[in-house]
Amino acid sequence: MRHKTRWPKVTAEKKSVEELLKEMKKPGSTDANYRERSLKIHGLICAKCGREFDLSTKNLLTVHHRDGNHKNNPPDGSNWENLCIYCHDDEHSRGVLGDYLTKG
């Protein structure tokens, strides 16, 4: 069985990858700036381990989508939590490890 791809449908106007990326990153695009919005709403702190960050280390904070849907970006930030890179990796590896351990 073939998996469906998540690529947008092709329209009459063809755009290059660079053009599409530029459009996605425009300041008005909600998906492009959800990270900055989450940092403003939730602060520069990891929701899991409580480590605090400052402007020089905020690059170590990531935004985790609680429901796993990266397109679900409500303006109130209810689907986001700021996690440091270590806690974010841990969060996403838990399911993989659990699957591995239960397949014994």
Tokens of 59: 């690059």
For residue 41, the model assigns a pLDDT of 95
pLDDT for 78 equals: 95
pTM (2 d.p.): 0.63
Low-confidence ranges of the chain (pLDDT < 50): 1, 28-29
